[in-house]
């Protein structure tokens, strides 16, 4: 997942609180200091014609010194466009108000999207300085627009008379979403409340930037060097090769290095026989942002929670969670909590069964110590190997990244009739980045897809989708420029990148997001692609994961990297049997984070928040739900980027589980007809979901595809969480 997915209006999409939680590009690492830059506006690449294919950003021309002058000019231009709308003597119409508002800020959007994409790929002190300077400025700029009384008066007048305007269904949806966006941004507030809301937005933007930078700096300050053969005990060749490459990337040639990238952390925790080193790495992982150093985030968390609560109160909500869910499929924090609780019961029961298997393995191996969180991956893998005939290294040998990419493209072609051809004439911001052109069945050029798949120093962790430009048809067809980022271990030169089945599913997941942007076919940019309800945005990504598990896809694309032979049936059978071997663990660590995120944002006492002990509060929530001691929550609060580095998932981490209900129920439609590529269902999925953006309410979109509301039964069944007494 990815911080790049934005949900509301175009200008709101680009507010600093969302866009500037990222970092910066390796390509800019050697740029001159800002104060030394002599870039003049006439030479600034952001105010020149972009001549690359699809008018893609000229990354080879962009320097760090380009940004501040470009931002300054673009903000001034945007202000002039907004004032032209506000000061118009003409009566408000859809075109002179709504469409004009959507067109305003094109230059600012181009700059901000480019910076955000670059910033997510690497970082340096110079880019962090730009980030810190611009995030509050852009938040103030966004607030001023959404608190502009004259602009809102025009939009409000149109909304009040919407039934008389003769609008199309899409136009009416755009107007309603725009009006709601203004109201939720405080447009109806008066006097001191309006001023205070603007101050809060500006302060939060700075706090989000500080939080995310602290996490990244703390993570990058840790490396474990494997100095002896004993340090490397138990680690497969693929893990050692990745560790050697990590050393090279950090100018530590010849050394094997474990980092806090998930693609380094999890394999080490799974295979290392050195319990002392596993504990060391685990503690570094869980304590990011919580190390009593300059990167500690506890005060940031308190201030963020205080300001979010104050803003929610100003807007008439008792808690931030109530504000956050009011405009979603869930509707209330209680509904979100109820979903988590429903799945939690089965997940914890499954985790207890997994723990029993682990303890049996520990006994067989003579391990007489207590089972701790840093032991679960290691002994869990031993238990899986004992109970299921599955060789993970053999699976990886059949899953080269290139073949998985070919698979994701082939599935899109069979479902939606589009094809992808790699291009080498599009500028990129790092040599690792690859670019593909998407075309329709009749050869029409539809957009560009950028893929950036390898971890490197400075690149933020995780996987996400981003957009350099969204699709719309306000002025003819504007083609989307969509990106996927992952953080896999980069192989040594000449070797293929081999990934696990779960990592292959993440590739498909992010490409599902990408297709949501690439296949968008709407007129208005404010409802394009992924700009949907935040608890619906994960549905297209999560349903797309299912095709990576399809036998037909595996048979065609899971080919051994040396022999080219397809995955043997016995390996495929073992993979199926072991699919839910650790589903208890996976769901417990995830749901626990969802519970904590909701609990923080359901707080309604500002004084309590001001004196909150973050760790004690976290522990209290986990004790309430009966969190097993042996499992750590997936994201502890001091490094919980979803919750505290921006607002897309704040008070809404539950959305992945909500979307899990949708994707399992949705894919069941294909299973029911016995064809994963059923043309009629694929067309419905395209029409109602992938091409539709936010042109209709999320539940209506789901029903348009599925024919009914979703059921939790398929999720519980597919994850092996169905209770014995359940009828699901």
- The pLDDT of residue 588 is above 90: yes
Rounded Cα distance between 213 and 127, Å, is 11
Could you tell me the pLDDT band of residue 30, with boundaries at 50, 70 and 90?
very low
User: What is the predicted pLDDT for the residue at 122?
Assistant: 63
- Does domain 10-217 match CATH 1.10.1370.40? yes
- Output the pLDDT for position 140: 93
Contacts of 335 (CB under 8 A, 6+ apart): 325
Q: What is the pLDDT of residues 166-206, one digit of tens each?
A: 999 999 999 999 999 999 999 999 999 999 999 999 999 99
Q: Any idea which residues carry the catalytic annotation? A: 510
For 284, phi then psi, to 5°, come to -65, -40
Whole-angstrom Cα distance, residue 714 to residue 718?
6
Q: Could you tell me which residues are beta bridge partners of residue 504? A: none
Q: What is the DSSP letter of 31?
A: P
Residue 31's pLDDT is 33
- pLDDT tens digit sequence for 356-386: 999 999 999 999 999 999 999 999 999 998 9
Mean pLDDT of 331-347: 95
- Dist. CA 145–CA 16, nearest whole Å: 13
What is the C-alpha separation between 201 and 179, in angstroms, rounded?
19
List every span in the chain annotated with CATH 1.10.1370.40: 10-217
Q: Is the pLDDT of residue 39 over 90?
A: no
Count of beta carbons in the 10 Å neighbourhood of residue 225: 13
Which run of H or of E encompasses 320? helix 320-325
Check pLDDT > 70 for residue 32: no
Mean pLDDT of 570-576: 89
**How distant, in Å, are the alpha carbons of 271, 274, 346, 621 from that of 352?**
22, 25, 10, 20
**What pLDDT score was predicted for residue 16?**
29
Phi/psi of residue 497, nearest 5 degrees: -85, 110
Residue 24: which pLDDT band, with cuts at 50, 70 and 90? Answer: very low
Q: Taking a C-beta distance cutoff of 8 angstroms, is the pair 655, 538 a contact?
A: yes
Tens-digit pLDDT profile for residues 517-561? 999 999 999 999 999 988 899 999 999 999 999 999 999 999 999
| Two tokens, residue 193 | 């409340």
pTM score of the predicted model: 0.88
So what's the pLDDT on residue 15? 31
Query: How many Å separate Cα 353 from the centre of its chain?
Result: 31
Least confident of 161-165, 228-232, 460-464, 468-472: 460-464
- Which residue in 606, 468, 423, 512 sits closest to 113, CA to CA? 468
What phi and psi values does residue 126 have, to the nearest 5 degrees?
Answer: -65, -45
Distance set, CA 726 to CA 369, 664, 668, 713, 723 (Å): 36, 17, 19, 9, 5
Q: Averaged over 703-708, what is the pLDDT?
A: 97
What is the mean pLDDT of the segment spanning 240-246?
Answer: 93
Distance (Å, whole) CA 612 – CA 30: 42
For 386-430, how does the pLDDT look when each residue is reduced to its tens digit (9 = 90+)? 988 788 889 999 999 999 999 999 999 999 999 999 999 999 999
Render pLDDT for 661-691 as a digit per residue (tens, 0 to 9). 999 999 999 999 999 999 999 999 999 999 9
How many residues does the structure list for the chain?
Answer: 728
DSSP per residue, 245-296: HHHHHTT-TT-EEE-SSHHHHHHHHHH---HHHHHHHHHHHHTTT-SSSTT-
């Amino acid at each position: 997942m990815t911080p790049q997915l934005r949900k509301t209006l175009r200008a709101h999409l680009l507010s600093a609180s969302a866009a500037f939680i990222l970092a910066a590009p390796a390509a800019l690492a050697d740029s001159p200091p800002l104060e030394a830059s002599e870039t003049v506006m006439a030479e600034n690449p952001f105010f020149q014609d972009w001549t690359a294919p699809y008018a893609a950003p000229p990354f080879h021309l962009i320097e760090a010194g380009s940004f501040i002058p470009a931002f300054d000019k673009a903000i001034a231009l945007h202000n002039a466009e907004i004032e032209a709308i506000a000061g118009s003597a003409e009566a408000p119409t859809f075109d002179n108000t709504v469409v004009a508002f959507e067109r305003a800020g094109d230059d600012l959007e181009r700059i901000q999207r480019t910076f955000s994409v670059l910033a997510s790929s690497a970082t340096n002190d110079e880019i962090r300085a730009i980030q810190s300077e611009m995030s509050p400025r852009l938040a103030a700029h966004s607030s001023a627009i959404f608190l502009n009384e004259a602009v809102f008066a025009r939009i409000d007048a149109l909304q009040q008379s919407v039934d008389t305007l003769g609008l199309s269904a899409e136009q009416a949806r755009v107007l309603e979403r725009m009006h709601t966006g203004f109201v939720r941004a405080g447009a109806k507030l008066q006097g001191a409340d309006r001023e205070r809301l603007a101050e809060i937005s500006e302060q939060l933007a700075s706090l989000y930037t500080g939080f995310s930078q602290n996490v990244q700096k703390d993570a990058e300050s840790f490396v474990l060097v494997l100095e002896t053969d004993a340090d490397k005990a138990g680690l497969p060749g693929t893990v050692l090769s990745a560790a050697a490459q990590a050393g090279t990337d950090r100018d530590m040639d010849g050394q094997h290095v474990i980092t806090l990238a998930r693609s380094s952390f999890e394999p080490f925790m799974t295979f290392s026989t050195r319990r002392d080193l596993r504990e060391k790495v685990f503690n570094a992982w869980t304590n990011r942002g919580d190390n009593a150093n300059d990167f500690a985030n506890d005060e940031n968390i308190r201030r963020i929670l205080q300001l979010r609560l104050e803003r929610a109160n100003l807007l008439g909500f008792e808690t931030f969670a109530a504000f956050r869910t009011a405009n979603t499929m869930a509707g209330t924090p209680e509904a979100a909590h109820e979903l988590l609780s429903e799945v939690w019961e089965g997940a914890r029961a499954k985790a207890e069964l997994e723990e029993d298997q682990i303890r049996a393995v520990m006994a067989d191996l003579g391990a007489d110590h207590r089972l701790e969180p840093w032991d679960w991956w290691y002994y869990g893998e031993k238990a899986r190997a004992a109970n299921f005939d599955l060789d993970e290294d053999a699976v990886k040998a059949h899953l080269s990244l290139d073949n998985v990419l070919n698979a994701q493209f082939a599935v899109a072609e069979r479902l939606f009739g589009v094809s992808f051809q790699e291009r080498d004439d599009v500028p990129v911001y790092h040599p690792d980045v690859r670019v593909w052109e998407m075309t329709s069945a009749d050869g029409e050029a539809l957009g560009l897809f950028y893929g950036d798949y390898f971890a490197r120093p400075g690149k933020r962790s995780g996987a996400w989708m981003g957009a350099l430009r969204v699709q719309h048809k306000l002025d003819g067809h504007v083609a989307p420029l969509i990106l996927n980022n992952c953080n896999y271990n980069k192989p040594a030169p000449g070797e293929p990148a081999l990934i696990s089945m779960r990592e292959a599913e993440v590739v498909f997941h992010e490409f599902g997001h990408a297709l949501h942007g690439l296949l968008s076919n709407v007129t208005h940019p404010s409802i394009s692609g992924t700009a949907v309800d935040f608890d619906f945005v994960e549905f297209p990504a999560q349903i797309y994961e299912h095709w990576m598990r399809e036998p037909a896809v595996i048979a065609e694309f899971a080919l051994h990297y040396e022999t080219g032979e397809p995955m043997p049936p016995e390996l495929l059978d073992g993979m199926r049997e072991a699919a839910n071997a650790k589903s208890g663990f996976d769901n417990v660590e995830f749901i626990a984070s969802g519970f904590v995120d909701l609990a923080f944002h359901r707080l309604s006492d500002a004084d309590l928040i001001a004196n909150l002990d973050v760790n004690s509060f976290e522990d209290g929530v986990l004790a309430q739900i009966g969190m097993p001691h042996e499992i750590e929550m997936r994201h502890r609060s001091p490094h919980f980027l979803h919750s505290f580095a921006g607002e897309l998932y704040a008070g809404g981490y539950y959305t992945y589980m909500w979307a899990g209900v949708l994707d399992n129920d949705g894919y069941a439609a294909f299973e029911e007809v016995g064809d994963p590529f059923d043309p009629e269902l694929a067309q419905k999925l395209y029409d109602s979901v992938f091409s539709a953006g936010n042109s209709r309410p999320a539940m209506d979109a789901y029903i348009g595809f599925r024919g009914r509301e979703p059921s939790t039964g398929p999720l519980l069944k597919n994850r092996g969480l169905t209770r014995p007494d359940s009828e699901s």
